[in-house]
Chain A
Amino acid sequence: MAKITINGKFLEVNDGLTVLEAALQAGIYIPHLCYHPDLKPTGACRLCIVEIEGIRGYPPSCATNVRDGMSINTNTPEIVKMRKNLIWLLLSGYPEMPPDHTLLKKVVDYIGINEILDGFEKKPKNLPIRTEEPLFIMNPNLCILCERCVRICHDIRGAGILGYVNRGIETFVTTAYNLSLKDVDCRVCRACVEVCPSGALSDKEQFTEDERDLKLLPCKNTCPAGIDIPRYLRLTSEKRYQDAIEVIREKVPLPHVLGLVCTHPCEKVCLRNEVSEPIAINAIKRFVAERDNKRWKKKLRIAPNTGKRVAIVGSGASGLTAAWFLRILGHSVTIFERLPKLGGSMRLIPDYRLPKSILEKEIDEILSIGIDVKNNTNIDSIDNLFSEGFHAVFVGIGTVKGMKMGISGEDDNRVQDGLSILTSISAGKEFNFGGQDILIVGGGNVAIDVSRSLLRLGAKSVCILYRRTRDEMPANYEEVTEALHEGVKIEFLTTPVKIIPDENKLKVECIKMQLEDADSKGRRKPVPVEGSEFIVDADRLIMAIGQKLKPMDALRINKEKHIFVSQNMETERDGVFAGGDAVSGPSNVISAIQAGRMAAKAIDKYLGGSGNIELEFIPQEKDDPWMGREEGFGYAKRAKMPTIAFAKRLEAFDLVELGVDEEKAIQEAKRCLRCQLRLTITRQKIVIQE
């Protein structure tokens, strides 16, 4: 410890601190711009100069270590005057007043300016502003050459992308030969933007403090279940596949299923998009799931029995997830399923996307931790469950009723419901659509799944009628692409208005649609084009226009016809919780999993627990901020998913996507911008205490 005085105030501080650090810790503000707690001091801005008894001149406090007995003055009249002169200098080449949110502005406001030259006209540098770079804007005219960006890029990231060119007043920060960031292999980690105090480097998309995490680390914060994507990508790139799968398993119990069918909203928001193409996050998830050697089982701890019993009604993704976490928390869990096999709507996904064996393997793993199952059991009354001794009930019954259009002729038995067809296929029922012309109505995943399945079952032609355009299709974009690739036809802006049952064929009268201008929600409503009717012949017409809840006794239904729950998944009945499609309407696996997670939390709390469902298979380790250089980084292309030979596709229901190999998976994981690193940079408080 060193005994020092600052401005007459006696302090005892740790040895090894700088004068600036000691002062800031003691609540004494010394203005500074180039100093950043994560960086080695450079002493460039000279604002933090102080006077120290026995030391000549004005040492910068950022680079002067405390010594026992030091007597420091931070605010003598000379220093105050000098700082004001320095601010005048700083702004003499700055085009305007600094933007309000910047550290520079606060410091300028704190110090004030000495207007030491009447009538002086500012002399901005007039350098070109770089707006064509991905994700951020470089405006060298606002730069104050504090060198923070250069230092963090060199010393912390090891990338060495930014540097000084020219000398003296002509100095500015740029890339080698002013090449574009991609051409100099910038990692686009934006640490430079994070530390820039002047507004010279700024995010293209501005955000509020509340939006910060979402905008800076969108993948993890967009994932409904909050899977730590950046962490498992890094672990994959380090060939630590077991660690990677365990990171995923900390949040979700169905990683392999997700790796095959997740709609991966994370990839849509992946910031790599702005540089080249998004990371193939889901392919990597599948890659590590395939290599899962179940090490996590040894780490999994089931809490001692709480003596509480929970009934899970429905065995879809939400029910299974809720069961999984509740069992881990020590509750006795029983799943009730009306069908013979578990999996809910996941079972309806055709085998070429999700083989039953993989689904069943993961369900068995979930059940293996001690979850009871009552299949072939319809639950008609929740009251009965309570009287059987259950303390809480989770309802995850999905939406299992196909909807109808309400047009004439749809009662013909050649008009069928997509959901039931998928159910039958999944149950192994023999079908033969040999030589048939099939029409499908709808634009969601069910429509696509049916279309591709029927092609595999021998249909002569499959045509989807969709009333909007491809951009509005709710089905996965990739799935639509594959369907088109396999020979499915899609008539966009078309809807059937009448079905005329004929002996041989169904005569389906259709009408062309057009989209109105976007409404307040941005959705463009389709309206019929008068006189554009035409007739299509088909052997069958399959309705895949949506599905709805089959209501249960005494649960309140909201105006969207879904089960009403409060924010913590609680229905209006005490002890009854609900989630998944039954609450949200038809959605996707990852959202259902998150519903199951939230329900597990709420139910545990309801049963007297803490509601903490967080697992830690892999302790958090400090992410190495050193990124180094990687040739061609900016241009690196997204890994292509290999598929089975096209000729073989329609012969059977074999899994179409083959999964990426190890080399590709690692390469892909290394393409990650590692956005999470930016969030580990110390944020300087702009609050100036006095």
Chain B
Amino acid sequence: MKENGKILVCTGTSGISAGAEEVIKSITNELANKNLLDKWQVIKVGDRGLFRDVLIDIITPQGSRFTYEYIKPSDVSKIIEKHIINDVPIDKLLAGKDYNQFFKGQTRIVLSNCGEISPENIDEYIERGGYTSLQKALKSNPAELIDEVQRSGLRGRGGAGFSTGLKWRFCYEAQSDEKYVICNADEGDPGAFMDRSILEGDPHAVLEGMAIAGYAIGSKEGYIYCRAEYPHAIKRLNAAISSARKRGFIGNNIMGSTFSFDITIVKGAGAFVCGEETALISSIEGKRGMPKIRPPYPAQKGLWGKPTLINNVETLANIRHIIKNGANWFASIGTEKSKGTKVFALAGKVKNTGLVEIPMGTTIREIIYGPGGGPARKKISLKAVQMGGPSGGCLPAGLFDTLVDYEAISKTGAIVGSGGMIVMDEKTCMVDIAKFFLQFTVSESCGKCLPCRVGLKRMFEVLIEITEGRGKNEHLSFLIKMGNTIKSASLCGLGNTAPNPVLSTLKYFQDEYLAHILEKRCPAGVCTNLLSFEVLEDKCIKCGKCYKACPSGAVQWKKGYHAKINKDLCIKCKACIGACDYMAIK
């Protein structure tokens, strides 16, 4: 049989926003013009987690695969003409070294289908082994399944890292005529988008995980709580649910068994705190999304007062692999207490940013210098990585050899969390970063418990004082005392972790705080109020980059001379500081 060629276009949220739909239109037009529509199939796949504008793959009928990056509609005719018709790849447009390095260091299990299959075509999922795990699960008894998941060592990927198997067991043991499975797709950490990518690229994996979980704990009803800011994910989930229902993978009497399980999507309004289990449940129930005290835990009294299992998207997407390959296989990956892989949203001052799936036990350094490709600017050295988003903390460069392992990372003051990983260099102000995260948690605090509601705000106010040059000595001890009180006394995970960005930067970068407070100086050149906008001649190499970057004509420079800044014209936009590779402007 003659194989057709395939053109894969990455159409996740990032692909679509970069113009993937226009590129697809050009491809189909061009193929139609050349009468090739019956020979080449255009497939919309999810994103791969690496932002390269529009990414397309040409898979020839012979099976050779070529990846093109940064594709614009205007490139399409050339590619069709030269590559598809004449079989000559266009080297200039092919994905380069960085693209390959990004994927080389990864072990893609959860993300294995993302960017590879059409999320809207259930057959492609089935072709790659989809729903066989559900079939296998339905043949075993629930207790065995739970054993298997527990033995695998899988831990919740949403942030807390609680044993998934144990959670299942609690729900399984809870006595009730009704139980619920909830997929927590309320991804809220700034910069984290692994859940979105999975939902957009491989929605059936999540549905399959939910159905297996439902069977294991004895539930007939599942909910996916997904934020309304993820319209593409919701659209694809809806499509996936209806096609899975048509094929009998969810709904009544799944695959001819006595097990029935259906799934409903609930759209959340995007409050960060709704990622917290009890707040999420309140939100589904139509109430204000505020956490409740635990116990009772959702496993005992959750949605509508019934036992409820809440698992994160990435956790659920792991399930089918564990059932398929066995607990031992999964447990063979990772460290003693942290098994399997973890997806990180690598961001910040590295060359390649995006979703990186690595085995537990990889070092931070391996991530940064492997898939990350090292510092974004060679001359500016890295100084820290922030892990775990607003709940997490900073880990200084000296600890880059720490393994990715729940306990090992926690010990440093950061957390694995949901997988946010922001790399910072000398041009990142650690006080400013702490302030940034605190601003986030201040505005996302639900307002229920005193320490989080008021305490974070008071800490934030102090950080503003410090970054605007009104810092006082006693501010440091205030931040520590208040931070510890909030951590210990808050009601939910948001408050329990929100002071971490401050406390961990205070631990590793106290000198930066002191520079702000005592010298009224921001070493990274970020806090505008503390900058004098003067060129340090001993550091300036007379390159003129600042001159070119300045939008207001304040920087004066001639080849061979040090730059100078005319303060009357300066608008304090910091473009000069951003352009300088030598930290020569203070």
User: B430: shortest Cβ distance to chain A, in Å?
Assistant: 22
Contacts of A171 in B (CB 8 A): 446-448, 453
Q: Which residue of B lies closest to A172 (CB)?
A: B447
User: B56: shortest Cβ distance to chain A, in Å?
Assistant: 42
Indicate if the CB atoms of B447 and A82 lie closer than 8 Å: no
Which of A55-63, A630-638, A669-677 faces chain B? A55-63
Indicate if the CB atoms of A118 and B449 lie closer than 8 Å: no
Contacts of A46 in B (CB 8 A): 449-451, 489-491
Given the interface pairs A85-B485, A116-B478, the reply to whether A168 lies near B445 with Cβ below 8 Å is yes
Question: Among A42, A89, A93, A167, which residue has its beta carbon within 8 angstroms of that of B446?
Answer: A167
User: What is the CA–CA distance of A63 and B442 in the complex, to the nearest angstrom?
Assistant: 26
Whether, in the assembled complex, A164 has its beta carbon less than 8 Å from a beta carbon of chain B, the answer is yes
Indicate if the CB atoms of B453 and A86 lie closer than 8 Å: no
Contacts of A144 in B (CB 8 A): 450
Indicate if the CB atoms of B293 and A145 lie closer than 8 Å: no
User: B484: shortest Cβ distance to chain A, in Å?
Assistant: 8
Whether, in the assembled complex, A639 has its beta carbon less than 8 Å from a beta carbon of chain B, the answer is no
Given the interface pairs A44-B450, A46-B451, A89-B454, the reply to whether A167 lies near B489 with Cβ below 8 Å is no
Whether, in the assembled complex, B474 has its beta carbon less than 8 Å from a beta carbon of chain A, the answer is yes
User: What is the CA–CA distance of A116 and B474 in the complex, to the nearest angstrom?
Assistant: 9
User: B247: shortest Cβ distance to chain A, in Å?
Assistant: 42
Q: Which residue of A lies closest to B449 (CB)?
A: A44
Whether, in the assembled complex, B377 has its beta carbon less than 8 Å from a beta carbon of chain A, the answer is no
User: What is the CA–CA distance of A43 and B293 in the complex, to the nearest angstrom?
Assistant: 6
User: B190: shortest Cβ distance to chain A, in Å?
Assistant: 16
User: What is the CA–CA distance of A82 and B455 in the complex, to the nearest angstrom?
Assistant: 12
Whether, in the assembled complex, A49 has its beta carbon less than 8 Å from a beta carbon of chain B, the answer is yes
Indicate if the CB atoms of A169 and B454 lie closer than 8 Å: yes
Whether, in the assembled complex, A206 has its beta carbon less than 8 Å from a beta carbon of chain B, the answer is no
Given the interface pairs A42-B293, A93-B454, the reply to whether A49 lies near B444 with Cβ below 8 Å is no
Most chain A CB inside 10 Å of its own CB: which residue of B455, B489, B490: B489
Whether, in the assembled complex, A668 has its beta carbon less than 8 Å from a beta carbon of chain B, the answer is no
User: What is the CA–CA distance of A46 and B447 in the complex, to the nearest angstrom?
Assistant: 13
Contact string against B for A residues 80-120, beta-carbon threshold 8 Å, 1 for contact and 0 otherwise? 00100110011011000000000000000000001011100
Whether, in the assembled complex, A611 has its beta carbon less than 8 Å from a beta carbon of chain B, the answer is no
User: What is the CA–CA distance of A147 and B287 in the complex, to the nearest angstrom?
Assistant: 15
User: A162: shortest Cβ distance to chain B, in Å?
Assistant: 12
Whether, in the assembled complex, B351 has its beta carbon less than 8 Å from a beta carbon of chain A, the answer is no
Indicate if the CB atoms of A82 and B491 lie closer than 8 Å: no
User: What is the CA–CA distance of A595 and B255 in the complex, to the nearest angstrom?
Assistant: 84
Whether, in the assembled complex, B424 has its beta carbon less than 8 Å from a beta carbon of chain A, the answer is no
Question: Among B292, B481, B490, which residue has its beta carbon within 8 angstroms of that of A85?
Answer: B481
User: What is the CA–CA distance of A44 and B492 in the complex, to the nearest angstrom?
Assistant: 10
User: A73: shortest Cβ distance to chain B, in Å?
Assistant: 14
Contacts of A85 in B (CB 8 A): 481-482, 485
Question: Among B293, B447, B448, B478, which residue has its beta carbon within 8 angstroms of that of A60?
Answer: B293
Given the interface pairs A44-B448, A92-B454, A116-B481, the reply to whether A82 lies near B488 with Cβ below 8 Å is yes
Give A16-68 interface residues, CB cut-off 8 Å to B. Answer: 41-46, 49, 57-58, 60, 63-65
Whether, in the assembled complex, A166 has its beta carbon less than 8 Å from a beta carbon of chain B, the answer is yes
Indicate if the CB atoms of A118 and B474 lie closer than 8 Å: yes
User: What is the CA–CA distance of A43 and B490 in the complex, to the nearest angstrom?
Assistant: 9
Whether, in the assembled complex, A170 has its beta carbon less than 8 Å from a beta carbon of chain B, the answer is yes
Contacts of B474 in A (CB 8 A): 117-118
Whether, in the assembled complex, B271 has its beta carbon less than 8 Å from a beta carbon of chain A, the answer is yes
Q: Which residue of B lies closest to A46 (CB)?
A: B489
Given the interface pairs A85-B481, A116-B482, the reply to whether A45 lies near B450 with Cβ below 8 Å is yes
Contacts of B478 in A (CB 8 A): 116-117
Contact string against A for B residues 479-506, beta-carbon threshold 8 Å, 1 for contact and 0 otherwise? 0011001001111000010000000000
Indicate if the CB atoms of A167 and B485 lie closer than 8 Å: no
Most chain A CB inside 10 Å of its own CB: which residue of B444, B445, B451, B461: B451
Q: How large is the interface on B (under 10, 10 to 19, 20 to 34, 35 or more residues)?
A: 35 or more
Contacts of A628 in B (CB 8 A): none
Whether, in the assembled complex, B136 has its beta carbon less than 8 Å from a beta carbon of chain A, the answer is no
User: B273: shortest Cβ distance to chain A, in Å?
Assistant: 8
Indicate if the CB atoms of B489 and A58 lie closer than 8 Å: yes
User: What is the CA–CA distance of A144 and B449 in the complex, to the nearest angstrom?
Assistant: 10
User: What is the CA–CA distance of A643 and B295 in the complex, to the nearest angstrom?
Assistant: 62
Question: Among B295, B456, B457, B488, which residue has its beta carbon within 8 angstroms of that of A57?
Answer: B488
Q: Is the interface of A mostly helix, strand, loop or mixed?
A: loop
Q: Which residue of B lies closest to A59 (CB)?
A: B293
Whether, in the assembled complex, A163 has its beta carbon less than 8 Å from a beta carbon of chain B, the answer is yes
Question: Among A49, A65, A93, which residue has its beta carbon within 8 angstroms of that of B489?
Answer: A49
Number of residue pairs A-B, CB distance < 8 angstroms? 107
Question: Among B447, B475, B488, which residue has its beta carbon within 8 angstroms of that of A169?
Answer: B447
User: What is the CA–CA distance of A86 and B482 in the complex, to the nearest angstrom?
Assistant: 9
Contacts of B292 in A (CB 8 A): 42-43
User: A640: shortest Cβ distance to chain B, in Å?
Assistant: 41
Contact string against B for A residues 128-165, beta-carbon threshold 8 Å, 1 for contact and 0 otherwise? 00000000000000001101000000000000000110
User: What is the CA–CA distance of A78 and B290 in the complex, to the nearest angstrom?
Assistant: 27
Contacts of A92 in B (CB 8 A): 454, 458
Q: Which residue of B lies closest to A84 (CB)?
A: B485
Give B418-477 interface residues, CB cut-off 8 Å to A. Answer: 442-458, 461-462, 472, 474-475, 477
Indicate if the CB atoms of A90 and B458 lie closer than 8 Å: no
Contacts of A64 in B (CB 8 A): 295
Contacts of B443 in A (CB 8 A): 167-168
Indicate if the CB atoms of B288 and A163 lie closer than 8 Å: yes
User: What is the CA–CA distance of A46 and B293 in the complex, to the nearest angstrom?
Assistant: 11
Question: Among B444, B447, B489, B491, which residue has its beta carbon within 8 angstroms of that of A145?
Answer: B447
Contacts of B457 in A (CB 8 A): 168-169
Contact string against B for A residues 272-301, beta-carbon threshold 8 Å, 1 for contact and 0 otherwise? 000000000000000000000000000000
User: What is the CA–CA distance of A123 and B453 in the complex, to the nearest angstrom?
Assistant: 14
User: A42: shortest Cβ distance to chain B, in Å?
Assistant: 7
Indicate if the CB atoms of A89 and B488 lie closer than 8 Å: no
Give A157-208 interface residues, CB cut-off 8 Å to B. Answer: 163-164, 166-171
Contact string against A for B residues 287-312, beta-carbon threshold 8 Å, 1 for contact and 0 otherwise? 01010110100000000000000000
Indicate if the CB atoms of A63 and B293 lie closer than 8 Å: yes
Indicate if the CB atoms of A82 and B485 lie closer than 8 Å: yes
User: What is the CA–CA distance of A171 and B442 in the complex, to the nearest angstrom?
Assistant: 12
Q: Which residue of A lies closest to B451 (CB)?
A: A46
Given the interface pairs A46-B491, A57-B488, A116-B481, the reply to whether A89 lies near B450 with Cβ below 8 Å is yes
Q: Which residue of B lies closest to A169 (CB)?
A: B457
Contacts of A167 in B (CB 8 A): 271, 443-447
Given the interface pairs A49-B489, A57-B488, the reply to whether A168 lies near B453 with Cβ below 8 Å is yes
Most chain A CB inside 10 Å of its own CB: which residue of B293, B454, B496: B454
Contacts of A90 in B (CB 8 A): 450, 454
Q: Which residue of A lies closest to B293 (CB)?
A: A43
User: What is the CA–CA distance of A67 and B181 in the complex, to the nearest angstrom?
Assistant: 29
User: What is the CA–CA distance of A164 and B490 in the complex, to the nearest angstrom?
Assistant: 19
Given the interface pairs A46-B490, A85-B481, the reply to whether A169 lies near B449 with Cβ below 8 Å is no
Contact string against A for B residues 35-69, beta-carbon threshold 8 Å, 1 for contact and 0 otherwise? 00000000000000000000000000000000000
Given the interface pairs A85-B485, A117-B474, the reply to whether A43 lies near B491 with Cβ below 8 Å is yes
User: B455: shortest Cβ distance to chain A, in Å?
Assistant: 5
User: B471: shortest Cβ distance to chain A, in Å?
Assistant: 13
Indicate if the CB atoms of A169 and B450 lie closer than 8 Å: no
Question: Among B288, B442, B458, B485, which residue has its beta carbon within 8 angstroms of that of A168?
Answer: B442
Indicate if the CB atoms of B489 and A82 lie closer than 8 Å: yes
Q: Which residue of A lies closest to B445 (CB)?
A: A168
User: B280: shortest Cβ distance to chain A, in Å?
Assistant: 16
Q: Which residue of B lies closest to A147 (CB)?
A: B448
Contacts of B295 in A (CB 8 A): 63-65
- List 15 other contacts, CB 8 Å, given A46-B449, A168-B457: A42-B448, A63-B295, A65-B295, A82-B488, A89-B454, A89-B485, A116-B477, A163-B288, A164-B447, A166-B447, A167-B443, A168-B443, A168-B452, A169-B454, A171-B446
A-B contact pairs, 8 of them (CB 8 A): A43-B292, A57-B496, A86-B451, A92-B454, A164-B290, A167-B445, A168-B443, A169-B456
3 closest A-B pairs (Cβ-Cβ)? A171-B447, A43-B293, A168-B445
